[in-house]
Chain A
């Protein structure tokens, strides 16, 4: 067999395999959207239909009017925004300081933080619950926001990026009499902008998708986030497939859209700490 023919066969095989793989991967998500537009009961037939006979928004209407999803959507948006903005402030400041400022014990503390990364977060959950209960934060937004104000991962990512800021730029500003806070605001933050965007995308997706901790700390239905509400709804409405799919769309479409829009930044965050030493 000639080389060009073999090469073309290989190309067809590789691209075909990837196409099949990608179709298989995306299918459940596309189907979720399709079933969410079916009328009640339509999806509980055999064989299951691939497309709605007549597309309807009735399930979404029911989610908002009967199941109170509007409230949960507002909770999720509010909590995600609050966690993302506040934790950015804490993590960026700390990450920069670990990279560029001198203080006693800096490297020791940083090593300890890195070591603590191996501890699964669930180990802290029981005492954290008791502590927040003592502070009156259980069953409030604060119970979600306060423990999430800073993260070791966030500090680490910012520090790695901030290491590349040249010292003479900071030194020159100091000689000009700029205060440390001024330097931070007008030199450091603009330079760190790409990593700040990356961290913002990461943090907001994580906060939106978080399940176990909100499940533990929020008991009032009024305060539920979308994942917690969807889980509780799915335990009640086991048979209402169309309604549940609409709930799944409402929960997961926002993160998918954010990902599609900010993909470049997200992927960079994935590979930042890993490949580069």
Chain B
């Protein structure tokens, strides 16, 4: 009995903080999304009215919301496979037995992960500069005409994807690397004795063993990429022609620029449902993989 009291002293502070400042607000977000909370309600709560699903219905008729959703999906659908592909490829290279200075390579490749997103977005905005950016200079040397990376609606999102892949691939690379290192050597030996080629070893030993890690990496990376915000905020401010407005950027402007907090909550909730749905589908699919 005495020890249960002490236990509560250890957990209660953290639980109170999480309940009050995370779980509570999440539930309140659902409630808030059913109201017309705006700048008038912010001034005086008596101006607040319940409007049911009106915010959601309204959103589905807002072209910019659909555009933001489309932009975000573009970022996820192109960015995630690229990002994970680079991570996996680099991890395979790093894991190779012939690698020298594995530690130094890993550190260099991982460095962008810990950098401040705002700062590296500033760097890349300069690299992408149409007039004196290094990227256009390099392309020019290869005979490719200059591209207005961040000023052209069809190139702005690809440019942001390049930044995101550069910044993020090191994270999953390390996770894949640890996974590769944890595959027991006897598995490979047995495969070799059976006369399996390098490719067949990869296909029948490496991939199946890594499957749970791949699923987890997929889920976390997709959830992370859905939360695109700082890159467009710094590099393009959602432009050009709103081609880089993401769902969160839309939510930020709706909520904290125009103070339509009811609508902003609805946006946040839709994003949550989307991420949740995609996660659930992936967990389902991964279970099918297991024979």
In the complex, the answer to whether A15 meets B275 with C-beta atoms within 8 Å is no
B45 to chain A, nearest CB (A): 10
In the complex, the answer to whether A48 meets B133 with C-beta atoms within 8 Å is yes
A172 to chain B, nearest CB (A): 15
Task: Point out the residues of chain B lying under 8 angstroms from A221, CB to CB.
Answer: none
Q: What's the count of A-B pairs with C-beta under 8 Å?
A: 288
Asked whether B285 is an interface residue with its Cβ less than 8 Å from the other chain, the reply is no
CB within 8 A of A184: which of B10, B96, B112, B119?
B10
Chain A, range 95-139, C-beta contacts under 8 Å to B: 96-98, 101-104, 106, 109, 113, 116, 118-131
Residue of B nearest to A47 (CB): B137
> Can you list the 8 inter-chain pairs with the closest CB atoms, starting with the nearest?
A180-B6, A94-B14, A127-B28, A97-B10, A101-B7, A124-B25, A11-B98, A150-B14
In the complex, the answer to whether B127 meets A28 with C-beta atoms within 8 Å is yes
Residues of A within 8 A of B (CB): 7, 10-11, 14-15, 17-19, 21-22, 25-26, 28-29, 31-32, 35, 43-48, 90-91, 93-94, 96-98, 101-104, 106, 109, 113, 116, 118-131, 146-147, 149-152, 155, 174, 179-181, 184, 205, 208-209, 211-212, 215-216, 226-228, 230-231, 234-235, 241, 244-245, 247-249, 251-252, 255-256, 258-260, 263, 266-267, 270-271, 274-275
Residue of A nearest to B13 (CB): A90
Distance between Cα atoms of A205 and B110 in the complex (Å): 14
Distance between Cα atoms of A272 and B122 in the complex (Å): 32
Task: Point out the residues of chain A lying under 8 angstroms from B252, CB to CB.
Answer: 212, 215-216
A32 to chain B, nearest CB (A): 5
Stretch at the interface among B65-73, B76-84, B263-271: B263-271
Task: Point out the residues of chain B lying under 8 angstroms from A256, CB to CB.
Answer: 111, 114-115
In the complex, the answer to whether B115 meets A122 with C-beta atoms within 8 Å is no
CB within 8 A of B4: which of A10, A102, A184, A260?
A102
Task: Point out the residues of chain A lying under 8 angstroms from B230, CB to CB.
Answer: 211-212, 231
Distance between Cα atoms of A267 and B32 in the complex (Å): 39
Distance between Cα atoms of A223 and B6 in the complex (Å): 38
Asked whether B233 is an interface residue with its Cβ less than 8 Å from the other chain, the reply is yes
Distance between Cα atoms of A228 and B230 in the complex (Å): 10
Most buried by B among A31, A48, A151: A48
In the complex, the answer to whether A245 meets B114 with C-beta atoms within 8 Å is no
Asked whether B160 is an interface residue with its Cβ less than 8 Å from the other chain, the reply is no
Chain B, range 17-63, C-beta contacts under 8 Å to A: 17-18, 20-26, 28-29, 32
Once A127-B25, A209-B116, A226-B116 are accepted as A-B contacts, the answer to whether A260 and B122 lie under 8 Å apart by CB is: no
Residue interface mask B227-241, A partner, CB < 8 A = 1: 101100110010000
